[in-house]
Structure 1
Amino acid sequence: MKRLKRNDLVSILVPLLIIYNVSYLYVYSSNTKLVEGEFLDNKISEDSYIKNDKKEALHIREELQDNYVPIFNKLIRGELISSHEVTSSKDGINLGMVIINLNPSFNVRDIKQSFAKRTINTLNTMFDRAGPSPIHLIIVTNKESSKWTGFFLASYLGKRLTLGALQERGFRFRKVNSLPSIKISLVDCDEISTKHPTFVSDMKNNINSALKASDKYRANFYYIAPLYHLAFTKLKHLLFIDASDLEFASNIEELWAERNRTDKGEVLMSMGLDLAPHYHNYIMGLYGDDYEGPLGKPGKFQGLNTGVVIYNFDKMRQNNIYNDYLNTENAYNVLLRYHIPLNLAEQDFFTCINFEHPELFDILPCQYNTQVSLQYFTEKHEKDFKDFHYCDKKENIKIFHHNGCGPVPENCGNKRLKSFEEDRSLLSLHMDVEVFWRFMANMVLDASQDKRKKIYHKLIV
């Protein structure tokens, strides 16, 4: 197998490093010939550096300059498009997420904050297992955050492409040779809210007064999801996920294939259950501990979770029952009827509608949204917590949802119960193997010679 010579390697690395250091992308802006909204077609295998000759090296360089750089330029400028302009690819995945910087004094180039790091983890685990199907990333943001969001995505994809081309696949786990074709659309959340001007304010009238003024769930964009069908008029299906707390353990194509569930009967959307007695507590507070009805009990009516949602917009636009709930009186009263103040934005709204019209909702298998929080694993719920929370064996989980707190009750400020010690099926402990061995190496190097021997002995035993 022929390896690249030094000059050939340089001809590839230079544009790659330019992409990685995206602040220099404007060097190539005059060469852009791409049509707005075109897919970023990844024709370069991330393992291709091993086998390319000089001719192939020149091809890669041309591909980078003519395809990747102009699209990254557009991202950095934070160009927003109307939600009505967002279209679907015939064989692609429509994947939505909200990426907005809530820090009022953020720096456009500051992408090292906690939210950005957690979003990178979501994207990494997804792309590590993604198949060849094109992915249309539909990013809901706002005018204030658009440049930051664009810079963040350009930086992430540039680094991903660079390291993928330089590192062999075995260096860091990834099941695929290259990124799929990617299209990115930045959409203004404020424009979406205009599709039903009073809805957001109606919803926010029900916000839990206990929420702090700085709580993220007081932001307007958390209340626009029920209006997506009015905004994305050229889409039939949209898969929408939390940006910063998911961990993919499967190919996203498997999840996208589940959109067929929304084509059955009167179903408008598919989402998983909220794997906690959160809504149970509200229902018991409303009806009393003697209540024997199904609402709030383990099963279809224990509450919904919007960490992963598949929408069928065509059916939502046509459904009068659902659209009536968007009107001022109904939007307010449906929450009031169950004494549920808004803590979790649209999740609370959808849960209440599901109590009254379960035919509109399909329950997505819990393996696609396995929440790991132990917030409600207290003495009060020691006997029934597992009924609400447990999904499946770890090896069968397709998406972990790292919401709330854990992985042990103490992390949630709760007492460690005897049942937790006896049944570790509730423990969801994930380890970054690379970070672990770096920590171990540093611990050994920093230790004295006698202490090293003890460490070695413990590792061996």
Structure 2
Amino acid sequence: MSPVSLSRRRLALVAAGLLVCLIIVLLSSRDESTVRASALLDQLESAQWRDAGAPATVDDEDQEGEQAAAAAAAAWSPAAAAPCRRRIEVGVIFTKADQHPKMKTNLVTNHAIAPMADQMKSLIEVMQEHFAPRKGTYYNDVLFFLTTTMHRSLPRLKRVIMMDVDISVRADLALLDDHFERFSPENVMGLSLELSPVYRHVLEAHRRETGNLTAGGAPPAGFPGLNSGVVLLDLARMRASRRYNQLMTEHEIRRRTARYRFKGHLGDQDLYTLLALDEPELFYVLPCGWNRQLCTFWRSVYADVFDQYFRCPGSISIYHGNCKATIPTEGERRA
């Protein structure tokens, strides 16, 4: 089974369950970009990595209009002959009720974004103010803030793997799910480091005024920020973490953005980067090979240090074509 590339914008996988790992794919349908819908559905129906005895979980009313939702299947590119270790359920999240699709497959469960966003409306509005350019722009959509409060809006789930959909998966995602077991007791989520100097730029005023060159600095001495192209969310821990929930308030977000002179434009990853500056113990650092970002936008701005951020040694399991970067074909490797 060959790797699958995604050309839509944001997606998520969700892992939860007691005896088995339940994986759900959450996907925005608001983009016009196309994917190989029929091939993706074929993968779902015939994949060897699915428990053949897994029960159907989709309601009868969710049974039509497969094209918009079919891209959800593209989350995985599992090994062709790998034994099944997970029960897989696919779910789809949509930003608008009139775009809510109905799937002709028993592997898909649909979720509407509006009820999830409404639960945390005031908090999301504060995050949009500080971590999105302006109303109507791409990252101002509530979709890009749902991960921050998903522990409240999806109370029955234990774990979520959230992914952007401009990716190409090159490894068994069960291996990604295994990283949950490597969390320290304090970790509530896992993300890879940002592989560009974007937060060096965002934090420039703070760096200049305070002399704190660690903030936004290149690794290993600096902290370049976090990238939410792939996010492992332990929802149970997020619900139980007193510290995380203390930080998720309007007052605390305003206080920290003021302290760091922080005006972001990349949605939830801005918040996670901001929190990690003072609370690194909340975050597990996922190896860069699970979110090998390819964006080179900042190379022309920070040519002298860009490669210090961009390097990612080792094997690549997920390529992330952010900034509309070209993802290598199968067999290629982008340095």
TM-score by length of 2: 0.74
In 1, Cα distance between equivalents of 2:190 and 2:126: 25
Deviations 1:81-104 (A, max 9, x none): xxxxx97362234244332326xx
Shift of 1:138: 3.4
Shift of 1:236: 1.8
Letter in 2 for 1:204: Q
Partner of 2:50: none
Partner of 1:203: 127
Between 1 and 2, higher relative CO (CA 8 Å, sep ≥ 6) is seen in: 2
The answer to whether the aligner puts 1:186 opposite 2:110 as a matched pair is yes
In 2, Cα distance between equivalents of 1:274 and 1:129: 28
Shift of 1:406: 3.9
Letter in 2 for 1:185: T
Q: What pairs with 1:318-329 in structure 2 (closer than 5 Å)?
A: 318-329=240-251
Letter in 2 for 1:215: T
Mean alpha-carbon deviation: is it higher for 368-377 or for 118-127? 118-127
In 2, Cα distance between equivalents of 1:221 and 1:270: 19
Deviations 1:191-238 (A, max 9, x none): 1223333111121222555x5x54221222222211101122222211
In 2, Cα distance between equivalents of 1:101 and 1:388: 32
Letter in 1 for 2:125: S
Letter in 1 for 2:100: K
Q: What pairs with 1:316-355 in structure 2 (closer than 5 Å)?
A: 316-355=238-277
Partner of 2:173: 252
In 1, Cα distance between equivalents of 2:264 and 2:293: 20
Find 1:114's aligned residue among 30, 33, 39: 33
The answer to whether the aligner puts 1:287 opposite 2:187 as a matched pair is no
Shift of 1:386: 1.2
Q: 2:117·2:124 contact (CA, 8 Å) conserved in 1?
A: yes
In 1, Cα distance between equivalents of 2:247 and 2:122: 12
Q: 1:284·1:291 contact (CA, 8 Å) conserved in 2?
A: no
Against the structure 1 CA distance between its residues 432 and 316, is the aligned structure 2 distance closer, same or farther, given a 3 Å change threshold?
Answer: closer
Q: 2:229·2:320 contact (CA, 8 Å) conserved in 1?
A: yes
In 1, Cα distance between equivalents of 2:246 and 2:23: 27
Against the structure 1 CA distance between its residues 91 and 332, is the aligned structure 2 distance closer, same or farther, given a 3 Å change threshold?
Answer: same
The answer to whether the aligner puts 1:357 opposite 2:286 as a matched pair is no
Runs of 4+ residues deviating >4 angstroms:
115-125
The answer to whether the aligner puts 1:97 opposite 2:26 as a matched pair is yes
Greater radius of gyration (CA): 1
Q: 1:121·1:247 contact (CA, 8 Å) conserved in 2?
A: no
The answer to whether the aligner puts 1:389 opposite 2:310 as a matched pair is yes
Q: What pairs with 1:267-282 in structure 2 (closer than 5 Å)?
A: 267-282=187-202
Compare the two structures and name the one with the higher strand fraction: 2
Find 2:182's aligned residue among 254, 261, 268: 261
The answer to whether the aligner puts 1:129 opposite 2:79 as a matched pair is yes
Q: 1:137·1:183 contact (CA, 8 Å) conserved in 2?
A: yes
Letter in 2 for 1:94: I
Letter in 1 for 2:201: N
Partner of 1:401: 320
The answer to whether the aligner puts 1:313 opposite 2:235 as a matched pair is yes
Q: 1:245·1:401 contact (CA, 8 Å) conserved in 2?
A: yes
In 1, Cα distance between equivalents of 2:299 and 2:92: 34
Shift of 1:432: 7.2
In 2, Cα distance between equivalents of 1:319 and 1:100: 32
Against the structure 1 CA distance between its residues 373 and 117, is the aligned structure 2 distance closer, same or farther, given a 3 Å change threshold?
Answer: farther
Question: CA RMSD, aligned part only?
Answer: 3.0
In 2, Cα distance between equivalents of 1:122 and 1:186: 10
Shift of 1:116: 4.7
Compare the two structures and name the one with the higher helix fraction: 1
Against the structure 1 CA distance between its residues 374 and 139, is the aligned structure 2 distance closer, same or farther, given a 3 Å change threshold?
Answer: same
Shift of 1:403: 0.4
In 2, Cα distance between equivalents of 1:309 and 1:340: 22
- What 5-or-longer segments of structure 1 have no aligned partner? 1-45, 47-85, 103-112, 158-181, 408-428, 434-461
Shift of 1:318: 1.6
In 1, Cα distance between equivalents of 2:330 and 2:213: 44
Partner of 1:430: 328
Deviations 1:137-160 (A, max 9, x none): 233224525533x35xx4xx7xxx
Deviations 1:6-60 (A, max 9, x none): xxxxxxxxxxxxxxxxxxxxxxxxxxxxxxxxxxxxxxxx9xxxxxxxxxxxxxx
Find 2:150's aligned residue among 223, 228, 235: 228
In 1, Cα distance between equivalents of 2:313 and 2:18: 34
SS in 2 for 1:272: strand
Find 2:163's aligned residue among 241, 244, 261: 241
SS in 1 for 2:322: coil
Deviations 1:282-328 (A, max 9, x none): 22232318835311112372110111111111211121221122222
Partner of 1:426: none
Mean alpha-carbon deviation: is it higher for 329-338 or for 368-377? 329-338
Deviations 1:131-186 (A, max 9, x none): 422222233224525533x35xx4xx7xxxxxxxxxxxxxxxxxxxxxxxx74322
TM-score by length of 1: 0.55
